Amino acid sequence: MRAWFAGDFDGCLARCDRVRPSDVDMVSQLALLRARALLRLGRADDAIGAVRSVFIAHGTLDASLTARMLLGTAYVRRGDNRTGLHMLEHAYAGAGGAHPTVRSEIALNIALAYYGLRELDGADRALDRVSPDADIVHARALEYRAWIALARSDFAGAMRHFQGALLRLDGCRHYDRFLEANSLQGLAMLAAERLDRAAFMLVEQRAERFDGSAGGLAGPLFLVAFAASMMDEVNGRARDALRRAREAETAAPTEIMRLLAMCRRATVLRNVDERHAHYDLVVQIHNALSGLDLSGADGNEREVPAALAIELAWSGDVLGARALLKQYDALPPADAMSSLHDDPRPVGARLYAEAVVADAAGDHQTAHHRYREAFQIFHRCGYERRALHAALRLGELTGQTYLLEYAERVLKKLSAHSPLRQRARRHNAPDGDPVVGALSRTERAVLQLLCEGKSTAEIALLRNRSKQTVRNTVSRILSAFEVGDRHALLRECVKRGIVTG
């Protein structure tokens, strides 16, 4: 059992094989433990075989119920949720005289079956049957509530439940490394996306002392390192962000996930303007991805084509980026147990990727619309990191006040060294330039577009204004800089350091 609670499921199976049982009861207990380990390793069919081969001695109600529970859970894990649910409900109905923890564990797995069926209210009701005194089972119930909250797009609620599961785990008599790893990965990704520094500090403190040496934990360790890279990057710690991205590469459970970590590293390189290193890495990822079959991609693996499309677009290969978006759109539907029904986040990510590709192609009208749609989705989700990126680019394109005000509010959460703070300062009044400081927000937005080489017609389209209104704004900008035309304005901006030559 020690290997089981430590999350070493392969080791648990090996120890079960070495034990020489002395009686029928020990044979039963070993078979049940073997079935538990097989379920955690994703081997549901083998778990069914292990349970069906066991003889449960008469008079051992708890063992009999546990066997029935594991059999029902195995059917749920293999995707046969209705059959598994029927078995589990039947077991629970006969569990009146069983130990409260056994009843609670059956209820926990009933919740899992309802979750697989996307009957979230049923999952909630099942978790209500889990006793707060059920030790580790109660901690698992809190983790399950976090996943249910995610399925409802209640991302703040999911964070609370993940934190609650970790705190409850600290007070349990038994330890479950798998539970801690799952809760850490869920909390890490949410905290990084929601820019919650306090929650991420909790993740980092626990991750530092977490023993990830056991098998079956590569996925959670990957996501914790991936989230840490995002958090380091957005706060201006580029070296740490690159290091954590490499840690994610090392921990990646599959080759596709390794490529996702490499995309993360490419993003960091791009944002610190390491153009040649970025290009070289993106070509490497693209070549590696072209040799992989993505038809079975699931979970986070499905993100790779869209993530790489963004990096490929910024490296100059717009056609290649568009092909990747088509590849992303052609992926088969995700597995029900590893995806969330009506999850808005993949939609937002796809829109953002399309915006970047359109932006790189010079199609600023499409980019404008897609950035706005992505911003709205991520803003509703509370995914402030992604919403901030969309808002900043939208602000640069259009100068829309509410977007810049949103960015200013969110930027207060970040370190003073954040590159996003520096980016916002470049768009707003740069320190030490009184002329730019005296311009209105609208005039600064138009100045930015002029420095990007946009024509009057393009600016009018991006800002949804008439050409005459744009001409009037340009005239005021030229007057402020005391120059006669756009070429002279650009030379003046280069001389002042507002733009680089």
Within 10 Å of residue 422's Cβ, how many Cβ atoms? 11
Calculate mean pLDDT across residues 31-35.
Answer: 91
Count of alpha carbons within 13 Å of 451, Cβ hemisphere only? 23
Give the CA distances from residue 183 to residues 135, 164, 189, 371, in Å, rounded to whole numbers and listed in that order: 16, 9, 10, 31
Concatenated DSSP letters of 414-464: S-TT-HHHHHHHHHS--TT-HHHHHS-HHHHHHHHHHHTT--HHHHHHHHT
Distance in angstroms (rounded) separating the CA atoms of residues 297 and 310? 19
Q: Which of 127, 122, 149 is nearest to 137 (CA)?
A: 127
Q: Which of 114, 149, 144, 115 is nearest to 130 (CA)?
A: 144
Which of 120-134, 158-172, 341-355, 398-412 shows the lowest mean pLDDT across its residues?
398-412
Residue with tokens 């046969």: 80
Pick the residue with more confidence: 430 or 330? Answer: 330
Residues in the chain, total: 501
**What DSSP designation does 482 have?**
T
Q: H helices then E strands: how many in the chain?
A: 28, 0
Which domains does the chain possess?
Answer: 1-134 (1.25.40.10), 429-501 (1.10.10.10)
- At residue 308, what is the residue type? L
Give the CA distances from residue 393 to residues 318, 428, 482, in Å, rounded to whole numbers and listed in that order: 18, 13, 28
pLDDT grade for 120, boundaries at 50, 70 and 90: very high
pLDDT at 58 over 50: no
Q: Backbone phi, then psi, for 485, in 5-degree steps?
A: -155, 180
What tens digit of pLDDT does each residue of 272-312 get?
Answer: 999 999 999 999 999 999 999 998 888 899 999 999 999 99
